[in-house]
Amino acid sequence: MNTSRSPHPPARVRVHTLPVRLTHWLNVYAMACMFMSGWAIYNASPIFAFTFPEWATLGGWLGAATIWHFAVMWLLVANGLVYLLAGIFNGHLRRDLLSVSVADVRQDLAAALRMRLGHRIGHYNAVQKAMYLGVLLLGLLLVLSGLAIWKPVQLQALTALFGGFAAARVVHFLAMAGIGLFVVVHLLMVLLVPRTLPPMITGRAAPHPVGERQDA
Protein backbone atom coordinates (compact mmCIF):
# COMPACT_ATOMS: atom_id res chain seq x y z
CA MET A 1 0.00 0.00 0.00
CA ASN A 2 2.86 2.38 0.63
CA THR A 3 4.77 1.55 -2.51
CA SER A 4 4.26 5.06 -3.79
CA ARG A 5 6.38 6.57 -1.05
CA SER A 6 9.75 5.03 -1.70
CA PRO A 7 11.30 2.07 -3.42
CA HIS A 8 11.89 -1.01 -1.31
CA PRO A 9 14.99 -0.62 0.81
CA PRO A 10 17.78 -3.05 -0.09
CA ALA A 11 17.24 -6.47 1.49
CA ARG A 12 18.70 -6.50 4.97
CA VAL A 13 20.76 -9.47 6.09
CA ARG A 14 20.15 -11.24 9.33
CA VAL A 15 23.06 -10.68 11.73
CA HIS A 16 21.88 -12.01 15.08
CA THR A 17 19.19 -14.62 15.69
CA LEU A 18 16.41 -13.97 18.17
CA PRO A 19 17.88 -16.32 20.86
CA VAL A 20 21.22 -14.49 20.68
CA ARG A 21 19.61 -11.06 20.99
CA LEU A 22 17.20 -12.09 23.73
CA THR A 23 19.82 -13.82 25.86
CA HIS A 24 22.30 -11.01 25.22
CA TRP A 25 20.06 -8.35 26.75
CA LEU A 26 18.78 -10.55 29.55
CA ASN A 27 22.41 -11.27 30.30
CA VAL A 28 23.18 -7.55 30.51
CA TYR A 29 20.56 -7.23 33.25
CA ALA A 30 21.55 -10.44 35.06
CA MET A 31 25.26 -9.63 34.96
CA ALA A 32 24.72 -6.08 36.19
CA CYS A 33 22.77 -7.47 39.16
CA MET A 34 25.36 -10.19 39.84
CA PHE A 35 28.34 -7.83 39.58
CA MET A 36 26.81 -5.17 41.81
CA SER A 37 25.40 -7.52 44.47
CA GLY A 38 28.65 -9.51 44.34
CA TRP A 39 30.67 -6.37 45.00
CA ALA A 40 28.45 -5.62 48.01
CA ILE A 41 29.14 -9.11 49.37
CA TYR A 42 32.86 -8.71 48.67
CA ASN A 43 32.87 -5.45 50.63
CA ALA A 44 31.64 -7.26 53.76
CA SER A 45 34.98 -9.07 53.94
CA PRO A 46 37.39 -7.84 51.24
CA ILE A 47 39.95 -10.29 49.84
CA PHE A 48 42.29 -7.54 48.62
CA ALA A 49 43.21 -4.11 49.94
CA PHE A 50 40.28 -2.33 48.31
CA THR A 51 36.50 -2.19 48.41
CA PHE A 52 33.98 -1.22 45.77
CA PRO A 53 32.26 2.18 46.04
CA GLU A 54 28.83 1.93 47.60
CA TRP A 55 27.08 3.51 44.61
CA ALA A 56 28.27 0.58 42.48
CA THR A 57 26.75 -2.02 44.80
CA LEU A 58 23.27 -3.45 44.92
CA GLY A 59 21.06 -4.18 47.90
CA GLY A 60 22.06 -1.45 50.36
CA TRP A 61 23.20 -3.95 53.01
CA LEU A 62 24.77 -7.40 53.11
CA GLY A 63 21.52 -9.32 53.65
CA ALA A 64 19.75 -7.81 50.65
CA ALA A 65 22.88 -8.15 48.51
CA THR A 66 23.03 -11.90 49.18
CA ILE A 67 19.31 -12.29 48.45
CA TRP A 68 19.80 -10.44 45.15
CA HIS A 69 22.82 -12.56 44.27
CA PHE A 70 21.05 -15.85 44.94
CA ALA A 71 17.87 -14.69 43.19
CA VAL A 72 19.45 -13.44 39.97
CA MET A 73 21.84 -16.39 39.72
CA TRP A 74 18.86 -18.46 38.54
CA LEU A 75 18.19 -16.00 35.73
CA LEU A 76 21.88 -15.92 34.80
CA VAL A 77 22.22 -19.70 34.64
CA ALA A 78 18.86 -20.29 32.91
CA ASN A 79 19.68 -17.60 30.37
CA GLY A 80 23.13 -19.09 29.79
CA LEU A 81 21.61 -22.53 29.22
CA VAL A 82 19.07 -21.15 26.73
CA TYR A 83 21.92 -19.45 24.85
CA LEU A 84 24.03 -22.63 24.77
CA LEU A 85 21.16 -24.95 23.81
CA ALA A 86 19.96 -22.60 21.08
CA GLY A 87 23.54 -22.17 19.89
CA ILE A 88 24.06 -25.92 19.70
CA PHE A 89 20.80 -26.64 17.88
CA ASN A 90 20.91 -23.80 15.36
CA GLY A 91 24.62 -24.19 14.70
CA HIS A 92 25.58 -20.70 15.95
CA LEU A 93 28.31 -22.03 18.25
CA ARG A 94 29.86 -24.33 15.65
CA ARG A 95 29.55 -21.94 12.71
CA ASP A 96 30.33 -18.60 14.32
CA LEU A 97 32.52 -19.34 17.34
CA LEU A 98 34.19 -22.75 17.20
CA SER A 99 35.33 -22.16 13.62
CA VAL A 100 38.45 -20.40 14.82
CA SER A 101 42.11 -21.31 14.57
CA VAL A 102 45.16 -19.99 16.39
CA ALA A 103 46.66 -18.83 13.08
CA ASP A 104 43.51 -16.82 12.29
CA VAL A 105 43.57 -15.19 15.71
CA ARG A 106 47.24 -14.25 15.30
CA GLN A 107 46.60 -12.78 11.85
CA ASP A 108 43.45 -10.85 12.82
CA LEU A 109 44.95 -9.62 16.07
CA ALA A 110 47.98 -8.23 14.21
CA ALA A 111 45.65 -6.51 11.73
CA ALA A 112 43.45 -5.16 14.53
CA LEU A 113 46.41 -3.70 16.42
CA ARG A 114 47.49 -1.89 13.24
CA MET A 115 43.90 -0.66 12.92
CA ARG A 116 43.64 -2.54 9.63
CA LEU A 117 40.95 -5.06 10.56
CA GLY A 118 37.67 -4.37 8.81
CA HIS A 119 34.33 -5.33 10.22
CA ARG A 120 32.05 -7.40 8.00
CA ILE A 121 28.52 -7.17 9.35
CA GLY A 122 27.19 -10.58 10.30
CA HIS A 123 30.64 -12.13 10.47
CA TYR A 124 32.87 -12.51 13.53
CA ASN A 125 36.59 -12.02 12.97
CA ALA A 126 38.98 -14.45 14.66
CA VAL A 127 39.75 -12.10 17.57
CA GLN A 128 36.04 -11.75 18.24
CA LYS A 129 35.58 -15.50 18.14
CA ALA A 130 38.43 -15.99 20.60
CA MET A 131 37.06 -13.28 22.90
CA TYR A 132 33.53 -14.71 22.89
CA LEU A 133 34.76 -18.26 23.49
CA GLY A 134 37.01 -16.97 26.24
CA VAL A 135 34.23 -15.13 28.02
CA LEU A 136 31.98 -18.20 27.78
CA LEU A 137 34.70 -20.26 29.47
CA LEU A 138 35.15 -17.55 32.11
CA GLY A 139 31.38 -17.64 32.64
CA LEU A 140 31.57 -21.37 33.22
CA LEU A 141 34.44 -20.87 35.68
CA LEU A 142 32.45 -18.14 37.43
CA VAL A 143 29.41 -20.41 37.84
CA LEU A 144 31.47 -23.40 39.01
CA SER A 145 33.52 -21.39 41.52
CA GLY A 146 30.27 -19.76 42.64
CA LEU A 147 28.72 -23.17 43.29
CA ALA A 148 31.89 -24.15 45.19
CA ILE A 149 31.56 -21.25 47.64
CA TRP A 150 27.76 -21.47 47.81
CA LYS A 151 27.79 -25.15 48.86
CA PRO A 152 31.28 -26.05 50.18
CA VAL A 153 29.82 -28.98 52.16
CA GLN A 154 27.18 -30.41 49.81
CA LEU A 155 29.45 -29.87 46.76
CA GLN A 156 32.72 -30.38 48.64
CA ALA A 157 34.39 -32.29 45.79
CA LEU A 158 33.95 -29.24 43.57
CA THR A 159 35.23 -26.94 46.33
CA ALA A 160 38.26 -29.18 46.83
CA LEU A 161 38.93 -28.98 43.08
CA PHE A 162 39.39 -25.22 43.50
CA GLY A 163 41.72 -25.76 46.46
CA GLY A 164 39.19 -25.22 49.25
CA PHE A 165 36.67 -22.56 50.23
CA ALA A 166 39.05 -19.62 50.57
CA ALA A 167 40.80 -20.37 47.26
CA ALA A 168 37.48 -20.88 45.44
CA ARG A 169 36.46 -17.42 46.64
CA VAL A 170 39.56 -15.94 45.02
CA VAL A 171 38.88 -17.87 41.78
CA HIS A 172 35.30 -16.53 41.82
CA PHE A 173 36.66 -13.01 42.17
CA LEU A 174 39.25 -13.42 39.40
CA ALA A 175 36.69 -14.92 37.00
CA MET A 176 34.49 -11.90 37.73
CA ALA A 177 37.44 -9.58 37.04
CA GLY A 178 38.16 -11.38 33.75
CA ILE A 179 34.57 -10.96 32.61
CA GLY A 180 34.65 -7.33 33.76
CA LEU A 181 37.68 -6.79 31.53
CA PHE A 182 35.83 -8.40 28.62
CA VAL A 183 32.90 -6.04 29.17
CA VAL A 184 35.22 -3.03 29.03
CA VAL A 185 36.82 -4.18 25.76
CA HIS A 186 33.42 -5.17 24.35
CA LEU A 187 31.97 -1.71 25.07
CA LEU A 188 35.05 0.00 23.60
CA MET A 189 34.61 -2.02 20.41
CA VAL A 190 30.97 -0.96 20.17
CA LEU A 191 32.08 2.66 20.58
CA LEU A 192 34.65 2.17 17.81
CA VAL A 193 32.17 0.45 15.47
CA PRO A 194 28.78 1.81 16.57
CA ARG A 195 26.91 0.27 13.65
CA THR A 196 27.29 -3.13 15.32
CA LEU A 197 24.85 -2.04 18.03
CA PRO A 198 21.50 -1.77 16.16
CA PRO A 199 21.69 -5.36 14.78
CA MET A 200 21.94 -6.67 18.35
CA ILE A 201 18.51 -5.08 18.87
CA THR A 202 16.77 -5.53 15.50
CA GLY A 203 18.73 -8.55 14.34
CA ARG A 204 19.28 -7.09 10.86
CA ALA A 205 21.61 -4.74 9.05
CA ALA A 206 22.24 -3.39 5.56
CA PRO A 207 24.40 -5.87 3.65
CA HIS A 208 26.97 -3.46 2.22
CA PRO A 209 28.25 -1.02 4.79
CA VAL A 210 30.22 1.85 3.37
CA GLY A 211 33.94 2.06 3.95
CA GLU A 212 34.95 -1.34 5.18
CA ARG A 213 38.41 -0.24 6.24
CA GLN A 214 37.79 2.97 8.05
CA ASP A 215 36.20 1.56 11.17
CA ALA A 216 38.61 -1.12 12.37
Which residues contact other proteins (rule: CB under 8 A)?
A: 25-26, 28-29, 32-33, 36, 41-42, 44-45, 47, 58-68, 70-71, 74, 150-154, 156, 160, 165-166, 169
- Angle formed at CA 131 by CA 52 and CA 145, multiple of 5 degrees: 50
We find the least distance from the C-beta atom of residue 62 to other proteins, in angstroms, to be: 7
Closest contact distance (angstroms) between CB of 147 and other proteins is 11
Give the nearest distance from C-beta 188 to other proteins in angstroms. 20
Minimum distance from residue 66 beta carbon to other proteins (Å): 6
Distance CA 168, CA 6 (A): 61
26 vs 84, beta carbon nearer other proteins = 26
Nearer to other proteins (CB atom), residue 48 or residue 211: 48
- Three-class secondary structure of residue 118 per DSSP: coil
Cα torsion through 154, 156, 159, 164, rounded to 10? 120
Nearer to other proteins, 81 or 110 (CB): 81
CB of 152 to other proteins, least distance (A): 5
CB closer to other proteins, 66 vs 107: 66
Packing angle, helices 62-89 and 126-150, rounded to 10? 130
Q: Terminus-to-terminus CA distance in the chain, angstroms?
A: 41
Q: Considering beta carbons, is residue 101 or 156 the nearer one to other proteins?
A: 156
The CA-atom distances, in angstroms, between 41 and each of 24, 55, 62, 141, 146 are: 25, 14, 6, 19, 13
56: Cα separation from own chain's centroid: 19
